[in-house]
């Protein structure tokens, strides 16, 4: 079995201000997660604002260095203690999808230039193969290369731009996509397109997804595993069905109770 995601005693402390008036904020407190599987998985990290979800995503994306501990993706140490892959190799393993697709692309650059750059620089494809790759990933997210070519970000809706971000992230065929609140800036009516896309891409590209969200309902809908965070610590972790049908921690129960329909659904499942 592969170690899809493992964190060992992961800690991150942000220091604000300078001595003697500095304040330490412990964003991650001894975070230990182990997910082993032969199949790709969708792991949701849920919790209220400030619980440390984004910091966890940033450590895994190597955007912040942990204060202690380490993170392993697909059997390779990628952050903290241990050997780490070079940047180019890392980008072929782990790709980000950010919250705001409008910030992911400059309004002065055509959208296809971003995809082309990823195909030629990260995946190191020649021009003809890069165009083929762009056609393939765009079609996987329900778009056509001919409709994207030469256009600028402001010619797309937020939902379309986020699908293009996902397409771009797929070009290197990464082991894992790290998506931090990927639908929160998108029109409510279009959110499920992205969520359903994650489910289908997991199979089509054999890609695992780390889905960071405060939305337990979508987490429940797509996850194989759920990690519940509160104040920098993991308070509950396990298979999604198990965590949501039989929450052990008071905080998870509180989160669940804030979504009445979901709670009723799980109570029905439990009673069947």
Ligand X SMILES: Nc1ncnc2c1ncn2[C@@H]1O[C@H](COP(=O)(O)OP(=O)(O)OP(=O)(O)O)[C@@H](O)[C@H]1O
Residues forming the site for ligand X (CB under 6 A):
14, 16, 25, 27, 47, 49-55, 214
In the complex with ligand X, the residue whose CB is nearer, 214 or 263, is: 214
C-beta of 17: minimal distance to ligand X in Å? Answer: 10
C-beta of 5: minimal distance to ligand X in Å? Answer: 17
C-beta of 16: minimal distance to ligand X in Å? Answer: 5
C-beta of 215: minimal distance to ligand X in Å? Answer: 11
In the complex with ligand X, the residue whose CB is nearer, 54 or 162, is: 54
C-beta of 181: minimal distance to ligand X in Å? Answer: 7
Report residue 76: phi and psi, to 5°: -115, 130
In the complex with ligand X, the residue whose CB is nearer, 45 or 115, is: 45
Residues 5 and 208 sit within 8 Å (Cβ to Cβ): yes
Q: How far apart are CA 117 and CA 128, in angstroms?
A: 13
In the complex with ligand X, the residue whose CB is nearer, 148 or 228, is: 228
CA 220 distance to own-chain centroid: 15
Q: How far apart are CA 165 and CA 150, in angstroms?
A: 16
Element (H, E) at 13: strand 2-16
Residues 41 and 224 sit within 8 Å (Cβ to Cβ): yes
Residues 228 and 252 sit within 8 Å (Cβ to Cβ): yes
* Region for 157 from its dihedrals, namely left if φ exceeds 0, alpha if ψ lies in -120 to 50, beta otherwise: beta
In the complex with ligand X, the residue whose CB is nearer, 46 or 169, is: 46
In the complex with ligand X, the residue whose CB is nearer, 55 or 118, is: 55
C-beta of 131: minimal distance to ligand X in Å? Answer: 37
Neighbour order of strands in the sheet with 68-73: 23-37, 2-16, 68-73, 76-80
């Amino acid at each position: 079995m592969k170690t899809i995601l493992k964190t060992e005693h992961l800690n991150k402390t942000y220091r604000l201000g300078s001595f003697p008036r500095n304040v330490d904020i412990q964003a991650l407190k001894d975070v230990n997660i182990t997910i082993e599987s032969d199949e790709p998985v969708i792991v949701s990290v849920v919790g209220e604002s400030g619980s440390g979800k984004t910091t966890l995503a940033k450590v895994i994306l190597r955007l912040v260095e942990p204060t202690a501990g380490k993170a392993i993706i697909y059997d390779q140490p990628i952050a903290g203690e241990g050997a780490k892959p070079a940047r180019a190799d890392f980008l072929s393993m782990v790709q980000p999808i950010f919250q705001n697709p409008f910030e992911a692309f400059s309004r002065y650059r055509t959208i296809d230039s971003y995809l082309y750059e990823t195909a030629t620089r990260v995946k190191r494809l020649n021009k003809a193969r890069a165009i083929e790759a762009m056609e393939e990933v765009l079609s996987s997210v329900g778009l056509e290369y001919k409709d994207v070519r030469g256009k600028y970000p402001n010619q797309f809706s937020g939902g379309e731009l986020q699908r293009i971000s996902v397409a771009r992230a797929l070009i290197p065929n990464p082991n894992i996509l790290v998506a931090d609140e990927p639908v929160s800036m998108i029109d409510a009516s279009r959110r499920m397109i992205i969520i359903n896309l994650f489910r289908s891409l997991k199979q089509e590209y054999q890609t695992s997804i780390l889905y960071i969200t405060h939305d337990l309902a979508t987490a429940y809908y797509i996850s194989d595993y759920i990690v519940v965070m509160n104040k920098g610590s993991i308070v509950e972790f396990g298979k999604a069905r198990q965590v949501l049908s039989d929450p052990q921690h008071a905080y998870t129960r509180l989160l669940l109770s804030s979504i009445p329909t979901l709670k009723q659904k799980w109570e029905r499942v439990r009673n069947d």
